[in-house]
Structure 1
Amino acid sequence: MDRNNWEDLKARLLAIGTAQVTGEPVDEYLTRSTAGPGAGGRGSLFFSVGTYRVRLSLADVSPVIIHHLGEGRTELTVDGERFIGTLERPALHCPRQAYITITPSCIFSCRYCNVPVLKGSRKTIEEIENLVESVKGTIDAISLTSGVLESIEEEEAYAIEVVSRLTRFNIPIGVSIYPTLQTPARFKEAGAIEVKFNLEAATPELFAEMCPGLSFGSIREILRDSVRLFGRGHVFSNIILGLGESDANMEACIASLCQDGVIPVIRPLNPTAELNEFSRPDAARIKRIFRYLDAALRTSGLDPTMALTMCPACMGCDMIPGRE
């Protein structure tokens, strides 16, 4: 499949977000999220065509049908069109990475996120080490994310200890938590090579509405400082597409981040938690913003294919220029 055809297909699939599974059992290909808007669902699958990849959540009814022929061989049908591909086995959460949620619970209540309701238990450092050990021959990176168990500062201290312990694996480590002003330098010293601090919304006003009690301005400042420490193209920020922003809002946010050396990760909204009456962005909008992102990255000399960890290296949930 050529790149243009893949872009069209992936935008359509991300606009739907789900798949109904038929055929042979898919248990060994399933992964379940414990963080972010997808937390607590039935699980998801990674469908790939060559080097291209998309992640779809399981549903009883969906316009996307994944028919598993066995041993990962798959036929995907959408809108009457059939595509041949494979199911990828996840290492931990996604292919080729140990993507681990340190604390699957949170004291904050972002409106798009299920994690505060799930109240999961924090993993011990020994549990995390054992998880990485169990997949170390099949991964290229370790990626860590976390909610906030007690306080932002306490979570940072715990995550730093986790990073320090995991450096013994000699595998690139990326980290994504809610940061303090000191977080980038502390993670750098601990041994992380990339960081992802999420603005989540395209404007400060939307952020205040969606994430009460947290600071858009602080994250923006911390992202700039992170680029100085980790380098251009090794700092990322998730922005959710579909919270009520205009295309102009999203484009301005993308341009500003790229100018600062931050790679935006544009995540189509998964309407869960308090936003279950919202709609996912349609395929046309996903492609339109993807093309703007591609142009903005090129203008700023940023190349997402150089990313070693986290979402830009996975590209299952987002359209990543250079990898798509």
Structure 2
Amino acid sequence: MDWIAVKAALLAEGRVRIVGAPAKEYIASSSAGPGAGGAGSVFFSVGGRRVRLAVDPDAPLTLVHEGKGNAAIPFRGEMVRGVLEAPALHCPRQAFITLTPGCIFSCRYCAVPACSGGSRTTAEVVAMVRSVLERIDAISITSGVAGSVEEEERRTVEVVRALVRFGLPIGVSIYPTADTPRLLREAGADEVKFNLEAATPGIFAEMCPGLDWNLIWEVLVESVRLFGKNHVQSNIIVGLGESDDEIEAAVHRLCSIGVIPILRPLTPSAGCAHLRRPDAGRLMRLNEIATREIREGGLDPAEAQTMCVACAGCDLMPGRE
């Protein structure tokens, strides 16, 4: 079985209808990232390699849960057999926690601004991590912006300081200020993820009004200086209207400064609900580009310990497949 081809096809669909034995214990809910505010998702794993699929009773793709986590997906005339991985918090083997589920910004592709609920306190986050401690290898923190970027930064730094006691690698992904990498490093974070989101400044300006594309680049450069290669990540969303050449240029630039690029297939929602999810062929082409650039940049995603690169469920991730 060509896992890359299978995973690309599954990611291109993105949704699955679950039939068979009850699978509630394997369904993860999300308040950030793809599927925020949706019906949840499952992590289907084949030989230790996983793909995350949103749960949708109307999806054309079917997952048959045979019981006790054993599952199969009919695919191109064959049955792809694997297991469902039970999430710890949001994803398998990590406590991946969103501090603030809503956001004052209105990025067009993002469903987070429509999510409701107050910010979690430091005590609540510590209790959540403690509740899954025996099932995790890492802690990852993300957040929307409740009031201001600076306020969210302060709250996140406080949470990281409180989580160091658990002795697990800590990754953080928030919208930054220029000081965020230094403050997180001093607090005890091990890895960071600041998202470029779009492959070009023009698309970024259209999709993320009020946010600063150039600031993200400056923060990424500083983050590599503080955290080192293989410990800084950045998303580029695929499907916002960019060309493959524009993706390649952005990936090359990220790798050249020591940042692991994550090519995230668009989840059509919010202001991008009318757009199409990228097809499997494009995902595979871009994965070949990313694989080459990562290798030539001297990066090794297998060294990442937290967040999306460590999970690799939502994306084709060179070095993790």
- Please indicate the TM-score interval, normalised by the length of the shorter structure: over 0.9
Deviation at 1:36, TM superposition (A): 2.5
Partner in structure 2 of residue 272 of structure 1: 269
> Separation in 1 of the partners of 2:105 and 2:33?
12
Partner in structure 2 of residue 16 of structure 1: 13
> Separation in 2 of the partners of 1:80 and 1:118?
39
Deviation at 1:302, TM superposition (A): 0.1
Partner in structure 2 of residue 121 of structure 1: 118
> Separation in 2 of the partners of 1:282 and 1:223?
29
The alignment partner of 2:133 has SS state of helix
The one-letter code of the counterpart of 1:244 is G
Alignment check: 8 A CA contact 1:63 1:79 kept: no
Partner in structure 1 of residue 48 of structure 2: 51
Partner in structure 1 of residue 35 of structure 2: 38
TM alignment of 1:245-324, pairs within 5 A: 245-324=242-321
User: Which of 239, 243, 261 does residue 242 from structure 1 map onto?
Assistant: 239
Partner in structure 2 of residue 167 of structure 1: 164
User: Which of 99, 102, 115 does residue 99 from structure 2 map onto?
Assistant: 102
The one-letter code of the counterpart of 1:256 is R
Deviation at 1:233, TM superposition (A): 1.2
TM-score (norm: length of structure 2):
0.99
The one-letter code of the counterpart of 1:84 is R
The one-letter code of the counterpart of 1:195 is V
Write out per-residue CA displacement over residues 47-102 of structure 1, whole angstroms, 9 at most, x where no aligned residue. Answer: 00011100000111223211001000111113433111100010000000000001
User: RMSD of the alignment, in Å?
Assistant: 0.8
> Separation in 1 of the partners of 2:265 and 2:74?
21
> Separation in 1 of the partners of 2:92 and 2:32?
17
Alignment check: 8 A CA contact 1:37 1:273 kept: no
Deviates more, 1:104-113 or 1:30-39: 30-39
Partner in structure 2 of residue 82 of structure 1: 79
Alignment check: 8 A CA contact 1:106 1:119 kept: no
Deviation at 1:310, TM superposition (A): 0.2
The one-letter code of the counterpart of 2:223 is S
> Separation in 2 of the partners of 1:34 and 1:40?
6
Deviation at 1:37, TM superposition (A): 3.8
Alignment check: 8 A CA contact 1:37 1:272 kept: no
The one-letter code of the counterpart of 1:16 is E
Alignment check: 8 A CA contact 2:35 2:41 kept: no
Partner in structure 2 of residue 61 of structure 1: 58
> Separation in 2 of the partners of 1:118 and 1:218?
26
Deviation at 1:272, TM superposition (A): 0.4
The one-letter code of the counterpart of 1:166 is L
> Separation in 2 of the partners of 1:39 and 1:75?
25
Write out per-residue CA displacement over residues 240-290 of structure 1, whole angstroms, 9 at most, x where no aligned residue. Answer: 000000000000000000000000111000000011110000000000000
Deviates more, 1:290-299 or 1:78-87: 78-87
| Consecutive aligned runs of 4 or more in structure 1 exceeding 3 Å deviation | none
Alignment check: 8 A CA contact 1:201 1:240 kept: yes
Question: May I ask how many residue pairs the two structures share in their alignment?
Answer: 321
> Separation in 1 of the partners of 2:151 and 2:68?
44
Partner in structure 2 of residue 143 of structure 1: 140
Residue 196 of structure 2 corresponds to residue 199 of structure 1: yes
> Separation in 2 of the partners of 1:12 and 1:62?
14
> Separation in 1 of the partners of 2:62 and 2:28?
18
Deviation at 1:204, TM superposition (A): 0.5
Alignment check: 8 A CA contact 1:19 1:64 kept: yes
Alignment check: 8 A CA contact 1:204 1:216 kept: yes
Unaligned segments of structure 1, at least 5 residues? none
Alignment check: 8 A CA contact 2:175 2:194 kept: yes
Alignment check: 8 A CA contact 2:94 2:139 kept: yes
**Identity %, equivalent residues:** 56
Partner in structure 1 of residue 184 of structure 2: 187
The one-letter code of the counterpart of 1:46 is F
The one-letter code of the counterpart of 2:215 is S
> Separation in 2 of the partners of 1:36 and 1:67?
26
Alignment check: 8 A CA contact 1:65 1:78 kept: no
Unaligned segments of structure 2, at least 5 residues? none
Deviation at 1:103, TM superposition (A): 0.5
Write out per-residue CA displacement over residues 105-135 of structure 1, whole angstroms, 9 at most, x where no aligned residue. Answer: 1000000111111232211111100100001
> Separation in 2 of the partners of 1:84 and 1:144?
32
> Separation in 1 of the partners of 2:97 and 2:287?
27
